[in-house]
Chains A and B, each alone.
Chain A
Amino acid sequence: MRILSPVDNLAEVGALASAGADEVYGGYVPDAWVRKYSILGSANQRYFPSAQIKGVSGLKAIIKSAHKSGMGFFLTLNAPYYTGPQYEDLVQFADKVSGMGADAFIVSDLGLILRLREKFPHAHVHLSTLQTVFNSEAARFFHRLGVDRMVLPRELTLSEMAGVVKANTDVDFDAFIMVGKCPNIEGFCTFTHNSPKLVWPCEERYTIAPAKAGEKMSGIMEAQSGWSLVNRRQACGLCGLPGLEEAGVTALKLVGRGGPAKMKVAVISAVREALSLMDTGVCGIEFSAASKDIYRRTFGGPCNPYVCYFPELWG
């Protein structure tokens, strides 16, 4: 399985390749776009500047450097939807980026997928997690549109993922493996991620109470408030690697655009270490224990159910 890592700047490309990334993805929003729509109307699902590649020359240099290191580069254009004028700007932008050698576009919006297919029939279009593929029929729906690679939602169990993958053998599938875990289903979530402190609505601390005074529902309130007590940017699915391989998943996707290069390298190394263990035949309880040890060394503490990608393996 390949490792797909985020990239934000030229300086980190070499380090990501050395750590073991096979492919990288990143986002870029042209200055003119920001002036017209603001960064809160971003062309991709990141609404803060540190998660965007700086300048068209920066984007060009990253693509060139990634290719030199043997890695593909995919550009995220995965806002949940766009307005009419934005489509016109996006098609022009996609044309420019194709000319720079980007290997694929990671897209969520149906309207953009349809336009890319029409204008750039040879471009590779990958489906973002901002779209939702929960069953094999949904995967077929997008494959008919020419999408040749899709990331599976974090909310599927390993056996559900296997069902989708095995029913769509002419599609490549990615699965998330480390870093970000949304409490909610990303492709259906309409929260805005615009806080200057980079704390999103799903990780805020809320005052939670029964809607009707006098009612008791402490278990539900406790379960929901747990999200604000954990670092959901330290998520992990390493224990599920054997299952992902068995399912036929093509690539392991890391989250973390806008994060420090050191963390990107650390998680790539963690996944590489776990894959190497698998290659040497470590399996079962022994592999789970080793995965938990890798997690502890990477994030400095034990994993917990809130940051586990595969709840069915927990316990």
Chain B
Amino acid sequence: MEKALYTTSLKNFPKDAGTYRRVYFGAEFCQWRVPTPASVVKAYTRARDAGLGFTLMTPWVTGKGLAGLVRIFSALAEASDGYGVEVVVNDFGVLSVLSVRYTNFEPVIGRLLARQKRCPRIPGIMGSLPDAGRDVYLHAGIEDKVTAKYLRGFGIKRAELDSPLQGVGVDLKAAKLRGSIYTPYAYVTVTRHCPASFDGNTWQAFTGCKLKGCLDNVITLENPAHENPLVMRGNAQFVHNPEMPRGLSGMGIDRVVVMEDVP
């Protein structure tokens, strides 16, 4: 099982690779948090020099955000020749661009597109469901063979999954995909109404967030209907779940992505 470190900042880049074999760097949830092309190249270079694989994370993007990603892809392609660089996509527009213009990168289906149910209310309803209904909550959209076959045409060979509270029961092997699983924070939801960008009148995140330090603040949201509280950083909410499902290899999962902090 390959172990990868998830980091959104060069500051937290590992000085010593330790047991990690790969670094995930970038932003999954907000186009205003995407690092500069220079930072991405620096992160790639550090990873390469440390003998680590490099995976660039990208978020969903508007037209403006997509143009920003293209600048990053161009800089990274020049620095790396593309080979050996993975790009996690959370937007089918980004996947389209990669498949046409940056074919040396290896695109990976991100957590936002892999389609799992992750709500912290789910453990409370699993017992009331028939077997086939429970299956819906244990599986993921990306393991559908027809979907996976289509996406393989875009170069997709890997998908990113979470470990939600109700468990995981996927079969990526049948879909001819490999999987990564993230721990210990499972993504739940994301917004453009980022509370860190609210200026008392409206949300700056709609037009171009100028706020610095939005990631410095982490809040918890507790409700009796949820088994675990939600944890919110910036514009995304997560649930903390250090439990990993058993039988990862049998599901086709060969990589664990470790988040040392709320992403």
Q: Which residues of A pack against B, CB within 8 Å?
A: 35-38, 40-41, 80-87, 109-111, 114-115, 132-142, 155-157, 160, 163-164, 183-185, 188-192, 194-195, 201-202, 204-212, 215, 217, 219-221, 223-224, 305, 308, 311-312, 314-315
A312 touches which one: B136, B151, B195, B207 (CB < 8 A)?
B207
Question: A191-B189, A201-B121, A220-B195 known; A87 and B96 CB under 8 Å?
Answer: no
Please classify the interface of chain B as helix (H, G, I), strand (E, B), loop, or mixed, using the class held by over half of its residues: mixed
Beyond known contacts A37-B133, A114-B147, A211-B220: 20 more, CB 8 A cutoff: A40-B128, A40-B133, A109-B144, A110-B144, A135-B61, A135-B62, A137-B96, A160-B64, A164-B63, A190-B116, A190-B117, A194-B125, A201-B119, A201-B121, A201-B226, A305-B201, A311-B206, A311-B207, A312-B207, A315-B202
A38 touches B129 (CB 8 A): yes
In the docked arrangement, what's the CA distance between A210 and B218, Å? 6
B66 touches A137 (CB 8 A): yes
A190 touches B188 (CB 8 A): yes
B146 touches A207 (CB 8 A): no
Question: A37-B133, A81-B115, A137-B94 known; A110 and B147 CB under 8 Å?
Answer: yes
Question: A188-B112, A190-B187 known; A211 and B262 CB under 8 Å?
Answer: yes
A220 touches B93 (CB 8 A): no
Q: Distance in Å from the Cβ of A240 to the closest Cβ of chain B?
A: 12
Q: Which residues of A contact B243 (CB under 8 A)?
A: none
Q: Which residues of B contact A209 (CB under 8 A)?
A: 219-220, 222
Q: Which residues of B contact A189 (CB under 8 A)?
A: 188-190
B95 within 8 A of A: yes
Question: A87-B144, A138-B96, A189-B189 known; A305 and B119 CB under 8 Å?
Answer: no
B48 within 8 A of A: no
- Can you name 28 A-B pairs with beta carbons within 8 Å? A37-B133, A38-B128, A41-B133, A81-B144, A87-B146, A109-B147, A110-B147, A111-B144, A111-B146, A114-B147, A134-B93, A135-B65, A138-B93, A141-B93, A155-B192, A157-B206, A160-B62, A185-B189, A191-B188, A194-B125, A201-B119, A202-B189, A207-B222, A219-B195, A220-B196, A224-B219, A305-B201, A305-B202
A138 touches B195 (CB 8 A): no
Of listed B91, B219, B237, residue having the most chain A CB within 10 A: B219
A85 touches B132 (CB 8 A): yes
A315 touches B219 (CB 8 A): no
Q: Which residues of A contact B200 (CB under 8 A)?
A: 219
Of listed A82, A188, A191, residue having the most chain B CB within 10 A: A188
Output the nearest chain A residue to B164 by Cβ-Cβ distance: A190
Question: A111-B146, A190-B118, A311-B202 known; A37 and B93 CB under 8 Å?
Answer: no
B225 within 8 A of A: yes
Number of interface residues of B (CB under 8 A): 70
A114 touches B262 (CB 8 A): no
Output the nearest chain A residue to B200 by Cβ-Cβ distance: A219
In the docked arrangement, what's the CA distance between A86 and B133, Å? 10
A80 touches B220 (CB 8 A): no
B92 touches A142 (CB 8 A): yes
A206 touches B130 (CB 8 A): no
Q: Distance in Å from the Cβ of B194 to the closest Cβ of chain A?
A: 9
In the docked arrangement, what's the CA distance between A204 and B188, Å? 15
Q: Which residues of B contact A140 (CB under 8 A)?
A: 93, 96
B144 touches which one: A36, A84, A134, A195 (CB < 8 A)?
A84
Q: Distance in Å from the Cβ of B60 to the closest Cβ of chain A?
A: 5
B201 touches A314 (CB 8 A): yes
In the docked arrangement, what's the CA distance between A41 and B121, Å? 15
6 residue pairs, one from A and one from B, having the closest CB atoms? A81-B141, A137-B93, A138-B93, A223-B198, A223-B195, A211-B218
In the docked arrangement, what's the CA distance between A206 and B221, Å? 5
B83 within 8 A of A: no
Interface 0/1 of B193-221, CB less than 8 Å to A: 10110101111001100000000011111
Interface 0/1 of B71-85, CB less than 8 Å to A: 000000000000000
B221 touches A224 (CB 8 A): yes
Interface 0/1 of B135-167, CB less than 8 Å to A: 110011100111100110000000000000000
Q: Which residues of A contact B222 (CB under 8 A)?
A: 206-209
Q: Which residues of A contact B192 (CB under 8 A)?
A: 155, 185
Q: Which residues of A contact B225 (CB under 8 A)?
A: 195, 201, 204
B122 within 8 A of A: yes
Q: Which residues of A contact B231 (CB under 8 A)?
A: 211
In the docked arrangement, what's the CA distance between A115 and B150, Å? 11
B133 touches A38 (CB 8 A): yes
Of listed A40, A133, A135, A209, residue having the most chain B CB within 10 A: A135
B249 within 8 A of A: no
Q: Distance in Å from the Cβ of A275 to the closest Cβ of chain B?
A: 25
Q: Distance in Å from the Cβ of A35 to the closest Cβ of chain B?
A: 8
B193 touches A183 (CB 8 A): yes
Q: Which residues of A contact B122 (CB under 8 A)?
A: 192
